[in-house]
């Protein structure tokens, strides 16, 4: 049960059914009340008409015992003292009016009832009261709506006429409508629940397919697989496409990590093997120890370990600190002591990690120094109000257009014949670009005016 109601389909079905149930109950209540009110209004109109008809006869001087009282409507005529002057035929009991009696008293104006020469006519008043009660007519007790009309007879006496209209039709109609609603409501709710269940199942079928495929990918660890994308333009299709994009990015990241580990292992193997060989030779023949070579291999290992650690931190999302760094001063500082390096710098500040930006400049200067024939030029300038630009150019052979993105990949060296001791591990430019990206900037390469390579670092101005 808990599993069933934990599904989106079950919750959607319950929610839709509950909403429809509340709406139907509210609408049904309004309909029943409206029906009851309308039928009660019709009963009042019928009772008004019957009461006015009797009141008109009294006003015209018809004797009380000769009044034409409609047998379909219980009628009661009462004087100011509460005495019943006339009642309709077969009226056996009445409640809800001013007098409970149904037996007329002797008419006090009987001596004038036959006086047809008296021209005086009584006055019929307005309907002054509506109420509900019961009356027993010919042995059948029914609920009625009563209307009261006051009339002045020819004796200048004010009497009250009560006439009723049966509410049996109203009660039957309301009862029938309520019965239909009670029977139809569960049927309609069942239809709503079934339709919602079916529609939700159809709508969620692609989601279930995505879930199954993701479970299979997790079990197989095969990141090359992709979830099915439904042939629609809704949220589920967008979810599938986003999931596939995430899987592609994850696959790329994992593959990059695998290559990184493999390349790092390969790069570490050479200096470690060289250092081990030298130490083993020294252990057997101390006089043959190449101390300078051992130190050089140790320094290479130290630099490689530092590069790998920095790349790991950058991959983990480390961003530059919020310090303000003056690029012109930094460029002059990092270029100091390097042969053939010229600095042309304007004052401009950026925000970031001074240590990481030093690393970028060192890597660019090292790269330019390895490939320059005689000169390296460092330029620091503003580009509008938003960007600071650092350019490092050399007069070497440049970078072929097809390799200008590949050189920023890790462990890539275009000149494979170059000695590793001179060329490094191929991490410098990769680190420089990653640091630039973490600082909200870019690092690109193009041809320099002197014919070599020109590396352009763009960073947001502080």
Mean pLDDT throughout 209-226?
Answer: 87
In a domain, 223, yes or no: no
- Is the pLDDT at 253 greater than 90? The verdict is no
The C-alpha atoms of residue 143 and residue 54 are separated, in whole angstroms, by 21
Whether this model's pTM surpasses 0.75: no
For residues 386 and 310, membership in a common domain is answered with no
For residues 164 and 181, membership in a common domain is answered with yes
In a domain, 54, yes or no: yes
- Is the pLDDT at 163 greater than 80? The verdict is yes
- Is the pLDDT at 269 greater than 80? The verdict is no
Residue-wise pLDDT tens digits, 47-83: 898 888 888 888 888 888 888 886 678 898 898 888 8
Q: Per-residue confidence at 424, pLDDT binned at 50, 70, 90?
A: low
Q: Which domain holds residue 244?
A: 235-315
The single residue listed with the structure tokens 């079950």 is 10
- Is the pLDDT at 421 greater than 60? The verdict is no
For residues 69 and 99, membership in a common domain is answered with yes
Mean pLDDT throughout 8-21?
Answer: 87
140-152 and 123-137 strand pairing? antiparallel
Calculate the average pLDDT of the chain.
83
The C-alpha atoms of residue 372 and residue 391 are separated, in whole angstroms, by 15
Mean pLDDT throughout 99-126?
Answer: 64
| Distance spanning both ends of the chain, measured CA to CA | 60
Mean pLDDT throughout 319-348?
Answer: 88
Mean pLDDT throughout 141-153?
Answer: 89
- As given in the structure block, the two tokens for residue 342 are 């010229």
Supply the pLDDT for residue 6.
58
Q: Per-residue confidence at 109, pLDDT binned at 50, 70, 90?
A: low
For residues 343 and 452, membership in a common domain is answered with yes
Give the end of a domain, one of 286, 315, 344: 315
CB 370 within 8 A of CB 391: no
The C-alpha atoms of residue 445 and residue 338 are separated, in whole angstroms, by 22
In a domain, 229, yes or no: no
- As given in the structure block, the two tokens for residue 462 are 């502080």
The C-alpha atoms of residue 50 and residue 63 are separated, in whole angstroms, by 17
Give the end of a domain, one of 261, 289, 315: 315
For residues 353 and 412, membership in a common domain is answered with yes
For residues 420 and 374, membership in a common domain is answered with yes
For residues 138 and 248, membership in a common domain is answered with no
The C-alpha atoms of residue 149 and residue 100 are separated, in whole angstroms, by 17
For residues 46 and 176, membership in a common domain is answered with yes
Mean pLDDT throughout 434-461?
Answer: 91
Angle, alpha carbons 161-66-113 (nearest 5°): 95
Residues 6+ apart with CB under 8 A from 361: 330, 331, 334, 335, 378, 390, 392
Closest CA to 47 of 122, 150, 131: 131
Q: Which range among 196-205, 255-264, 345-354, 416-425 shows the weakest confidence by mean pLDDT?
A: 416-425
The C-alpha atoms of residue 166 and residue 146 are separated, in whole angstroms, by 9
Other CB atoms within a 10 A radius of the CB of residue 284 amount to 8
For residues 50 and 145, membership in a common domain is answered with yes
Residue-wise pLDDT tens digits, 179-194: 998 898 999 999 999 9
Structural element, H or E, at residue 90? none
In a domain, 147, yes or no: yes
Residue 268: CA count within 13 A, CB half-sphere: 12
Supply the pLDDT for residue 333.
93
In a domain, 104, yes or no: yes
- Is the pLDDT at 110 greater than 70? The verdict is no
Q: What is the DSSP string of 373-413?
A: SS-EEEEEEEETTTEEEEEEEESS----GGGTTGGGSTT--
Supply the pLDDT for residue 4.
52
Mean pLDDT throughout 209-215?
Answer: 88
For residues 240 and 382, membership in a common domain is answered with no
For residues 206 and 297, membership in a common domain is answered with no
The single residue listed with the structure tokens 């004052």 is 347
- Is the pLDDT at 111 greater than 50? The verdict is no
Give the end of a domain, one of 281, 315, 349: 315
In a domain, 227, yes or no: no
Comparison of pLDDT for 112 and 346, the residue scoring more: 346
Q: Could you tell me the sign of the dihedral formed by the alpha carbons of 168, 171, 175, 176, in that order?
A: positive
- Give whole-number Cα distances, 347 to 379, 382, 442, in Å: 11, 8, 20
For residues 369 and 336, membership in a common domain is answered with yes
In a domain, 422, yes or no: yes
Mean pLDDT throughout 201-220?
Answer: 87
Number of structural domains in the chain: 3
Q: Which range among 41-50, 98-107, 108-117 shows the weakest confidence by mean pLDDT?
A: 108-117
- Give whole-number Cα distances, 398 to 74, 76, 257, 409, 454, in Å: 116, 120, 30, 17, 8
Residue-wise pLDDT tens digits, 277-326: 878 877 887 877 777 777 777 877 787 788 778 777 777 776 666 789 99
- Is the pLDDT at 358 greater than 50? The verdict is yes
Mean pLDDT throughout 338-354?
Answer: 90
Other CB atoms within a 10 A radius of the CB of residue 296 amount to 16
- Is the pLDDT at 406 greater than 70? The verdict is yes
Supply the pLDDT for residue 392.
94
Mean pLDDT throughout 376-381?
Answer: 94
CATH of the domain at 304: 1.10.287.130
> 3-class DSSP state for residue 171?
helix
Q: Residue 359 pairs with which residues in a beta bridge?
A: none
CB 364 within 8 A of CB 432: yes
CB 147 within 8 A of CB 50: yes
Mean pLDDT throughout 211-227?
Answer: 87
In a domain, 225, yes or no: no
CB 144 within 8 A of CB 74: yes
CATH of the domain at 344: 3.30.565.10
């Amino acid at each position: 049960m808990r599993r069933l109601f934990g599904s989106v389909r079950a919750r959607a079905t319950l929610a839709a059914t509950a909403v429809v149930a509340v709406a139907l109950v509210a609408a049904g209540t309004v309909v029943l009340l409206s029906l009851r009110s309308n039928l009660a209004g019709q009963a009042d109109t019928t009772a008004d008409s019957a009461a006015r008809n009797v009141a008109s006869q009294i006003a015209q001087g018809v004797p009380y015992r000769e009044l034409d009282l409609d047998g379909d409507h219980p009628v009661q005529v009462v004087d100011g003292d509460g005495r019943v002057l006339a009642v309709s035929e077969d009226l056996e009991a009445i409640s809800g009016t001013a007098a409970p009696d149904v037996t007329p008293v002797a008419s006090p104006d009987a001596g004038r009832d036959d006086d047809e020469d008296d021209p005086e006519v009584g006055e019929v008043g307005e309907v002054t009261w509506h109420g509900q009660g019961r009356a027993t007519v010919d042995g059948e007790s029914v609920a009625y709506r009563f209307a009261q009309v006051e009339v002045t007879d020819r004796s200048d006496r004010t009497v009250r006429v009560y006439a009723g209209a049966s509410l049996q039709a109203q009660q039957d109609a309301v009862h029938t409508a309520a019965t239909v609603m009670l029977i139809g409501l569960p049927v309609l709710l069942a239809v709503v629940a079934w339709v919602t269940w079916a529609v939700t199942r159809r709508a969620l079928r692609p989601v279930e397919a995505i879930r199954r495929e993701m479970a299979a990918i997790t079990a197989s660890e095969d990141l090359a697989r992709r979830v099915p994308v439904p042939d629609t333009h809704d949220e589920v299709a967008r979810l599938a496409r986003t999931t596939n994009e995430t899987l592609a990015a994850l696959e790329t990241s994992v593959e990059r990590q695998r290559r990184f580990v493999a390349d790092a292992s390969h790069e570490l193997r050479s200096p470690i093997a060289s250092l081990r060989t030298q130490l083993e030779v020294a252990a057997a023949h101390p006089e043959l120890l190449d101390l300078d070579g051992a130190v050089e291999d140790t320094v290479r290992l130290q630099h490689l370990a530092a590069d790998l650690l920095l790349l790991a931190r950058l991959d983990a999302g480390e961003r530059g600190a919020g310090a303000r760094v003056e690029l012109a001063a930094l460029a002059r500082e990092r270029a100091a002591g390097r042969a053939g390096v010229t600095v042309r710098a304007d004052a401009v500040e950026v925000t970031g990690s001074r240590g990481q930006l030093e690393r970028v400049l060192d890597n660019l200067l090292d790269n330019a120094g390895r490939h320059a024939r005689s000169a390296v030029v460092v330029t620091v300038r503003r580009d509008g109000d938003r960007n600071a630009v650092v350019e490092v150019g050399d007069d070497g052979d440049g970078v072929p257009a097809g390799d200008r993105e590949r050189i920023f990949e890790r462990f890539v060296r275009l000149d494979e014949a170059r000695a590793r001791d001179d060329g490094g591990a191929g991490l410098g430019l990769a680190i420089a670009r990653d640091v630039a990206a973490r600082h909200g900037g870019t690092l690109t390469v193009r041809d320099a005016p002197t014919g070599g390579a020109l590396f352009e670092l763009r960073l947001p101005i502080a």
